Amino acid sequence: MCFSCRLEAEVALVSHEQNGLFASVDALLEQAAAPDALPAPAERKRLREAAGLSQDQVAKALDVRRETVTGWEAGRTEPRPPKRAAYIRLLDGLADRFPVPAASSGLAPGPRTGPPAITEPQAPEPPVAPTAGPATPIRRPATARRSAPQKPAAAPAADTRFADGPLVVVDGDDTAYYADGLVLDCPLTDLPALVDWALGEARLGAARLHRSGKDADPLIVLTASAVQRLGLPTELEDRRGLRLPDDHNALKQLTKARWKLTKRGFGPWARVYRTADGARRQCVQFAVLPWGALDTRSWGTADQLPPVELARLLSTYATRVLTPCGSTAVTGLELMTALRPPTRAVKDPATGNWVSGPMPGSLTEAVECAPPEAPDGHPAVAALYPRFHQRTPDQVLDEEAYQWSRPLTDAECMKPYVVGIDVNMAFAAAANRLTVGLSAPVHVHRPIFDAKLPGSWLVDLSHIRLDERLPSPFTPHGERPTGPAWYATPTVAYAVELGYTVTPLEAYLRYEYGPYLDAWYTRLRDAYIATMADLGITPGMPEEQFLAAMAGHQHTDPVLAAVLSAIKATVKGGLGKLRERARSGGWRPGEPWPALARPTWRPDIRAAVIAGARINMHRKMLKIATHAGLYPVAILSDCAVYPSDGPSPLDFLPYRDGKPLPGGFRLGVSPGMVKHEGTQSVLWAEGLLEEHGPDVNIARHIKTGIVAGQDEGE
């Protein structure tokens, strides 16, 4: 080989070795890259947007998926070698070209159309808890935002898609009020502009409660002045349908912008949406205050609060329960689905693709109810009986809350007071650990009773005799059954618990079952306990201190008192929705109605919960009667009234060794424990019975002592 050829080969060999060494060194440098070599997630997004680059462009350059870039910018994931070094190189280059403006230090800059007009000092503000006192509004232009606290790159950051909370209250001066006192400008030119703002710049929404569920959509609450600015009427002319006419100009604007409405149209609660873009939902909810979006029975006078206070109220409820999506009843039902979605992603073994499959332990599809479980007007009832037929106990399942009262005995009339105690979250507590059916009912003749099987049983319990000073646990009116009747499993199980033999004649049983409502109960219990704690009432308080705190807790903070009321209404309303009746508007008995098509239309589950609550009360009343000789004189739902020597529950509730009687009523804040409902004199009770007759229920009026109109059932 000639000298020049040999020299060229040696040079090539050295160059190859050098390139290999450089590659090894680069790999070491890449592996040794410090976690803080990457900017914070918010800065990564700022640099990309400042350069006018899309996530798709960055993903294509780095040979990753767009979702991967989204995760890097949200802080949920971090790039790994060899993508990490390339991503750092890209961000370093962009940082040289687009440095953070000095005037915006401490803030995450918005669009680079001009410097944000900051009207107050740039010092970071301490976070304001949703349950704190009234927050002073902080006026900011729409492009000015507070940056999230810097976290180490190795620690996953919170989801920044919903950085500003689940909702805003929009007022007529182009102002959006957030939960923590933040105030931003928002467009009020028309509904399409407001929807675009909510889905983009506003950063509204809430993360899903279950990995197979869906994120909560942004909620925009419109005040009366905002309604006027948008050209909407202050009152709906359609009082039956409660919706804008389809030819209204605002709806034409939405249609022109390719937005859609659900079948219920644009009313007090409305959804504006487009078909989902991949995995991203495009949906915004509206709550229109002057149209009655916030029912006074659930929210009190919340719609009259200033926008900043209303934002705190609704955001607290949304954070602890769920972003409101209708009435508290609708939200209570939606919470069940949010915590236990009907479907999940499963891999198809034939194709290897991910498809939707049923979620174990959830209500996955609508099923037919058993004829005794169906309410009047249901197609199953119309097929069996004439239209005006009054079904007897052996034809209908009648599991309802107590409404019972009796005359006072001579000894009880000698007591000076009658005192009412109320069970906290009684129906929620009954849902805890309750096994409910998940499948369609199976009709069985002459079954052997099994307390583990949820369902409805036709059984004769008329042979069970208890003290007449106690209501029967088997009927809502408290009278002893007179023959065979339909009962839910908890009621029949209690008869067995009392030591009696039961022989069912037939049953509708569900062989697939589970604790469907456990997560729902836990969520609402935690929301209730947290709100009560904010009002100064905590578990484990001394009983005297608890009673004193409860006497004035509703006046401590009107906002939190409204949250508490809404949580309670969510429990009762959500359970009521399990047996939603047909609404007016052309429906006739015997015809199906839309609610029947829901997997969550389950009257049997509602019956089981109510039966459990009634049995829980009777079990405690029986315990007190057996060990202390005390008997209630009236019961209404979860309130029981006892004669007493003093005006406080402490004057009659029995104790053993200085502690409440085990198995009886206990004072406390937790669900299932009791609080003081009200106290009146025995003379008041006797006068009420004499004036209104034996059908009056003094438990209904024990709180105020005032009888407004004729006594009626709940």
Name the residue type at position 309.
E
The whole-number pLDDT of residue 487 equals 98
Query: Higher confidence at residue 240 or residue 709?
Result: 240
What one-letter code names the amino acid at 460? Answer: D
Confidence tier at 17 by pLDDT (50, 70, 90): low
Contacts of 149 (CB under 8 A, 6+ apart): none
With contact defined as beta carbons under 8 Å apart, do 427 and 571 qualify? yes
Taking alpha carbons only, the member of 194, 179, 189, 162 closest to residue 281 is: 162
- Mention every residue, 6+ apart, whose C-beta is less than 8 A from residue 57: none
Band (pLDDT 50/70/90 cuts) for residue 706 is confident
- Longest Cα–Cα distance in the chain: 131
Identify the residue with better confidence: 183 or 50. 183
Instruction: Give me the mean pLDDT over the 532-550 stretch.
Output: 94
Residue 508, pLDDT > 70, answer yes
Cβ neighbours of 228 (radius 10 Å): 15
Which of 32-46, 109-123, 134-148, 622-636 is predicted least confidently? 109-123
Structure confidence at residue 361 as a pLDDT band (50, 70, 90): very high
Residues whose CB is less than 8 angstroms from the CB of residue 181 and which lie 6 or more positions away in sequence, other chains included: 128, 135, 136, 137, 138, 308
List pLDDT tens digits, range 53-81: 888 788 888 888 776 888 788 776 788 77
- What's the mean pLDDT in 528-547? 95
pLDDT band for 148, please (50, 70, 90 cuts): very low
Within its chain, how far is the Cα of 460 from the centroid?
39
C-beta of residue 217 within 8 angstroms of C-beta of residue 205: yes
Q: Which residue has the tokens 């009954």?
A: 430
Higher per-residue pLDDT: 146 or 685: 685
Lowest mean pLDDT, pick from 38-42, 194-198, 549-553, 597-601: 38-42
Residue 125, pLDDT above cutoff 50: no
- The pLDDT, as a whole number, for residue 20 is 54
Q: What is the pLDDT of residue 80?
A: 77
In this predicted structure, the answer to whether residue 399 has a pLDDT above a threshold of 90 is: yes
Query: pLDDT band at residue 101, thresholds of 50, 70 and 90?
Result: low
Query: What is the distance between the alpha carbons of residues 637 and 575, in angstroms, rounded to a whole number?
Result: 14
The pLDDT tens digits for 559-594 are: 999 999 999 999 999 999 999 999 877 889 999 999
**Rounded Cα distance, 440 and 700, in Å:** 38
Relative to beta strand 634-636, strand 639-644 is antiparallel
Which percentage of the chain shows pLDDT scores above 70?
85
CA pair distance 339, 334, nearest whole angstrom: 9
Summarize the confidence of residues 253-267 as an average pLDDT: 93
